Amino acid sequence: MTSLDVLFRYGAPPTEGAMRAVDSVREVYGIRRIQFNGREHTLRVEFDASRLNENTVAGLLRRAGIDVQEKLALA
């Protein structure tokens, strides 16, 4: 397993329904952790790179209702 982190900026704050849908994204095999930072409008996802890639992770989040805007560089 190759664990990677990716940081995305989101636009509109997630709705209650989107947050419930994110719970189902957490159950996708290969997603290890999702952390929101409401103050900075970012979310960090730790995932298994041998199973998923950054574009797939962004797609999963968008389908859950998260307004993913861009990928950011990790500090």
Q: What pLDDT digit, counting tens, does each position of 31-60 carry?
A: 999 999 999 999 999 999 999 999 999 999
- Is pTM beyond 0.75? Reply is yes
Q: What is the mean pLDDT of the chain?
A: 95
Q: How confident is the model at residue 1 (pLDDT cuts 50, 70, 90)?
A: confident
15 vs 34: CA distance, rounded Å = 16
In CATH, what number is assigned to the domain containing residue 46? 3.30.70.100
The domain in which residue 63 lies consists of 3-72
Structural domains in the chain (count) = 1
pLDDT of residue 75: 74
The values of phi and psi at residue 8, to 5°, are: -120, 145
